[in-house]
């Protein structure tokens, strides 16, 4: 027992000397939470219910935020929320001169975008229509067929300026009640393994298109409307072997936080959604699918405690409704955000290097 006390005293004294007593206590509390999460994860894995057992959803199309759909297919007719939505839409149709209020979701053909559309369909009764934007028409049609709200599909490539202008013209008669920007993707590998094309395209889609889409919808939003930008916990620090993607998400996170302050006078809520790894989408399969980097396992050997898209989306929409600036929908997201505030960036990079190599 004396040895344990000596070890604990040594660790505590060093932590308090480096961080301060309050920060050290938070650090230890977070370690306890992480240990509990790990135990829970391994317990579920033994029972055959591990997170990400679905094989990372590689069969369900798209880029990060443009990926698969959950196995549970709630029948909207049996859903009392669905019945309420239908009634509201019918009532709203009688108000001539009232602008139709829509939810607009990019990257909606699969993955996080598709899940956002499904969750909005279940929970946002005040929306008259849900507009789905992505490149793949067939996937959009499939996603639209599973919604109880009237849905409009808009197949387009958001990296092309003329498509943004076309979409902006479509928005003129409507009010955008919720805008969710999920379009984006990643490639795993260092500077040698990710092509210049992929580097440029990630910047165009993850950064430039996100800003262009946000600027396009803002003239059609009013007080009480909401924006959710899909960022990432990678936005909290530089991430070797995911450097372009992480840098792009850091840009989007910073942009989102600043935009929130600018839009406060208009009463528009802006939320940065920062998930950890999400296994049951196409994000990871697409990130790994790199012809120039067939040995991606040497880049990132494991994806610890991934989240499920349903959980991420449900918590993100709840955070948005509550007016939060940032949604960290899970224990790993929360810990990553906390440690990035307590530990210098160089230390965070080395911690990532250890995790990346050990898996």
- The residues carrying an active-site annotation are 245
- DSSP notation for 101-138: EEEEEESTTSHHHHHHHHHHHHH-TT-SEEEEEES-HH
Residue 14: count of CB within 10 angstroms of its CB = 11
Give the pair of three-digit tokens for residue 129. Answer: 């229509």
Torsion of CA 243, 54, 332, 345, to 10 degrees: -10
Residue 56: count of CB within 10 angstroms of its CB = 22
Q: Single out the residue of 99, 83, 85, 169 nearest to residue 127, CA to CA.
A: 85
Give the pair of three-digit tokens for residue 211. Answer: 């800003």
If you ran DSSP here, which 8-state letter would residue 168 be given? H
Residue 18: count of CB within 10 angstroms of its CB = 12
Distance CA 181, CA 187 (A): 19
- DSSP notation for 303-335: --SPBPHHHHHHHHHHHHHTT-SEE--SHHHHH
Distance CA 115, CA 310 (A): 7
Contact (Cβ atoms closer than 8 angstroms) between residue 233 and residue 278: no
Residue 161: count of CB within 10 angstroms of its CB = 11
Distance CA 173, CA 175 (A): 7
């Amino acid at each position: 027992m004396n040895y344990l006390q000596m070890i604990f005293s040594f660790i505590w004294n060093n932590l308090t000397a480096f961080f301060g007593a309050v920060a050290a206590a938070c650090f230890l509390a977070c370690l306890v939470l992480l240990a509990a999460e790990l135990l829970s994860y391994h317990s579920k894995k033994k029972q055959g219910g591990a997170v990400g057992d679905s094989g990372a959803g590689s069969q369900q199309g798209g880029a990060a935020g443009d990926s698969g759909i959950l196995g549970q297919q709630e029948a909207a007719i049996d859903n009392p929320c669905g019945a309420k939505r239908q009634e509201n839409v019918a009532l709203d149709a009688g108000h001539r001169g009232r602008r139709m209020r829509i939810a607009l979701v990019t990257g909606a053909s699969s993955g996080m975008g598709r899940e956002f559309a499904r969750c909005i369909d279940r929970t946002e009764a005040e929306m008259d229509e849900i507009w789905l934007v992505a490149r793949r028409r067939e996937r959009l049609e499939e996603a639209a067929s599973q919604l109880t709200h009237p849905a409009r599909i808009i197949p387009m490539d958001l990296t092309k300026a003329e498509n943004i202008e076309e979409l902006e013209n479509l928005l003129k008669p409507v009010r955008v009640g919720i805008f969710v920007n999920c379009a984006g993707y990643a490639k795993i590998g260092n500077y040698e393994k990710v092509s210049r094309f992929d580097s440029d395209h990630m910047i165009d889609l993850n950064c430039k298109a996100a800003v262009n889409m946000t600027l396009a919808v803002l003239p059609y939003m009013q007080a009480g409307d909401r924006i959710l930008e899909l960022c990432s916990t990678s936005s909290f620090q530089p991430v070797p072997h995911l450097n372009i993607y992480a840098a792009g998400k850091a840009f989007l996170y910073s942009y989102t936080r600043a935009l929130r302050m600018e839009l406060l006078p208009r009463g528009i809520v802006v939320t940065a959604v920062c998930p950890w790894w999400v296994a049951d989408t196409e994000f990871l399969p697409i990130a790994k699918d790199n012809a120039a980097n067939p040995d991606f396992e040497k880049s990132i050997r494991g994806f610890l405690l991934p989240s499920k898209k349903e959980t991420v989306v449900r918590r993100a929409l709840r955070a948005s409704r509550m007016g939060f600036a940032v949604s960290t929908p899970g224990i790993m997201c929360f810990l990553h955000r906390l440690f990035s505030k307590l530990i210098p960036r160089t230390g965070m990079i080395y911690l990532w290097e250890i995790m990346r190599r050990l898996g």
